[in-house]
């Protein structure tokens, strides 16, 4: 076994770490406060090639791997987890779905601009009446005169509200079964397609730097060739890329938790009470020690999942356990970080308050903790 990062992986990690320190961290508080999307930071991430790390050079990517991509996501999330989420949805989910299931023509047209970071992508599965039970989606797509006509609503959609988002990959029912969910297929829907309506922007507890919108399709028409992959396997296609998304969620959680630990160590060594830095109190030390243990284990698990993916090996158990463990670990780490900061930890100018507000969402997106436990139980052949 070799736990050392390769020279290339170290280079990606260090580049992203420096970028986060110099560019993202100084802006993070303002992004959360104003809810203004940091397009200039996205442009700089694009220039550094962050969205295309694991995508083939033929389609404008860097030809790297998923370990490198996730090291990048962890580092970026130390500054602003919403930018980690931007990378997750754009690269791990949307770009990958096109890279794996798209035709050469679809890849040239739709993958290259995203791998080159000229455009951002979105992923549409969730609907008002279909969340964890994703197979029960109601959005419908029917072929009419050489075009797919789509009707339905997707909700809680990340990225699509960004000005530089160009498309959404959606799942829609294409054939109704007498019983059961029918046939689900996936489609590439450009934002400028007739009948595409960007719905409301959601007001969230935290994560204000992430665009979350409703999307409505009203007789939305797209060309026949925008069907992605096998029309009978659209649901399986969507789920397969979500597995990578779960590794990305774990990497975001590890980055955010590491930031909480770093901030807490700094604060605990500076803050003096009863004549001593609070870091001298065992109650504080144990919180910090527990955070360090949990972060290390979560990091090892997401890296193992990403490495297995790079080897082309099955990684359902590793991706699911990484997502579950890391997201629940972050909630505790962020809470302890606020506790260590005392009253200051509840103030917006202290980064730990932002990580605390944003921690919960990672237990919900891309499959809830309950869904993760169900999948893990299945891996244990429990039914």
Ligand X SMILES: Cc1cc2nc3c(=O)[nH]c(=O)nc-3n(C[C@H](O)[C@H](O)[C@H](O)COP(=O)(O)OP(=O)(O)OC[C@H]3O[C@@H](n4cnc5c(N)ncnc54)[C@H](O)[C@@H]3O)c2cc1C
Catalytic residues: 366
Upper half-sphere CA count for residue 106 (Cβ side, 13 Å): 23
Minimum CB separation from ligand X for residue 28, in Å? 17
Stretch that binds ligand X, among 2-10, 33-41, 150-158, 300-308 (CB under 6 A): 150-158
Minimum CB separation from ligand X for residue 332, in Å? 18
Minimum CB separation from ligand X for residue 335, in Å? 19
Map residue 310 onto helix, strand or coil: helix
**134 vs 227 by CB, closer to ligand X:** 134
DSSP string computed for 4-31: SPPHHHHHHHHHHHHHIIIIIHHHHHHH
CA angle 284, 286, 288 (to 5 degrees): 70
Phi, psi of 180 (to 5 degrees): 90, -175
Residue 355 within binding range of ligand X, rule CB under 6 A: no
**57 vs 133 by CB, closer to ligand X:** 133
Residue 370 within binding range of ligand X, rule CB under 6 A: yes
Phi, psi of 33 (to 5 degrees): -70, -45
Residue 120 within binding range of ligand X, rule CB under 6 A: no
Residues in CB range of 281: below 8 A, 6 or more apart: none
**323 vs 341 by CB, closer to ligand X:** 323
**249 vs 288 by CB, closer to ligand X:** 249
Residue 125 within binding range of ligand X, rule CB under 6 A: yes
Neighbours of 266 (CB within 10 A): 11
Q: CB of 341 within 8 A of CB of 316?
A: no
100: nearest Cα among 250, 51, 159, 92: 92
Residue 173 within binding range of ligand X, rule CB under 6 A: no
Stretch that binds ligand X, among 279-287, 329-337, 339-347, 362-370 (CB under 6 A): 362-370
Residues at the site binding ligand X, with contacts judged by CB under 6 A: 89, 123-126, 131-132, 156-158, 204, 207, 212, 361, 364-368, 370-371
């Amino acid at each position: 076994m070799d736990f050392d990062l390769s020279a290339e992986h170290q280079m990606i990690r260090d580049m992203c770490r420096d970028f986060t320190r110099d560019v993202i961290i100084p802006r993070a508080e303002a992004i959360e406060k104003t809810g203004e999307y940091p397009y200039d930071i996205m442009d700089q991430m694009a220039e550094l090639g962050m969205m295309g790390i694991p995508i083939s050079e033929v389609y404008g990517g860097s030809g790297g791997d998923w370990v490198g991509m996730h090291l990048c996501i962890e580092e970026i999330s130390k500054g602003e987890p919403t930018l980690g989420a931007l990378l997750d949805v754009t690269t791990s989910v949307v770009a990958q779905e096109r890279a794996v299931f798209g035709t050469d023509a679809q890849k040239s047209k739709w993958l290259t601009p995203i791998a080159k970071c000229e455009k951002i992508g979105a992923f549409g599965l969730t609907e008002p009446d279909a969340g964890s039970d994703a197979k029960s989606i109601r959005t419908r797509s029917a072929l009419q005169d050489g075009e797919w006509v789509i009707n339905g609503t997707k909700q809680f959609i990340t990225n699509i509200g960004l000005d530089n988002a160009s498309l959404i990959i959606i799942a829609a029912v294409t054939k109704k079964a007498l019983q059961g969910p029918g046939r689900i297929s996936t489609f590439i829907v450009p934002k400028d397609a007739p009948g595409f309506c960007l719905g409301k922007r959601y007001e969230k507890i935290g994560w204000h730097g992430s665009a979350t919108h409703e999307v409505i399709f009203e007789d939305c028409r797209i060309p026949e060739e925008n069907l992605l992959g096998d029309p009978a396997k659209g649901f399986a296609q969507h789920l397969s890329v979500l597995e990578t998304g779960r590794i990305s969620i774990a990497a975001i959680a590890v980055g955010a938790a590491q930031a909480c630990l770093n901030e807490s160590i700094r604060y605990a060594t500076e803050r003096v009470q009863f004549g001593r830095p609070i870091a001298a109190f065992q109650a504080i030390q144990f919180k910090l020690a527990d955070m360090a243990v949990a972060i290390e284990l979560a990091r090892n698990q997401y890296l193992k999942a990403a490495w297995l993916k790079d080897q082309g090996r099955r990684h359902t158990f590793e991706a699911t356990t990484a997502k579950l463990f890391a997201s629940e670990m972050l909630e505790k780490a962020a809470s302890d970080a606020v506790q260590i900061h005392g009253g200051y930890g509840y103030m917006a100018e202290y980064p730990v308050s932002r990580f605390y507000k944003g921690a919960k969402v990672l237990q919900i997106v891309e499959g809830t903790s309950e869904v993760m436990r169900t999948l893990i139980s299945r891996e244990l052949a429990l039914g």
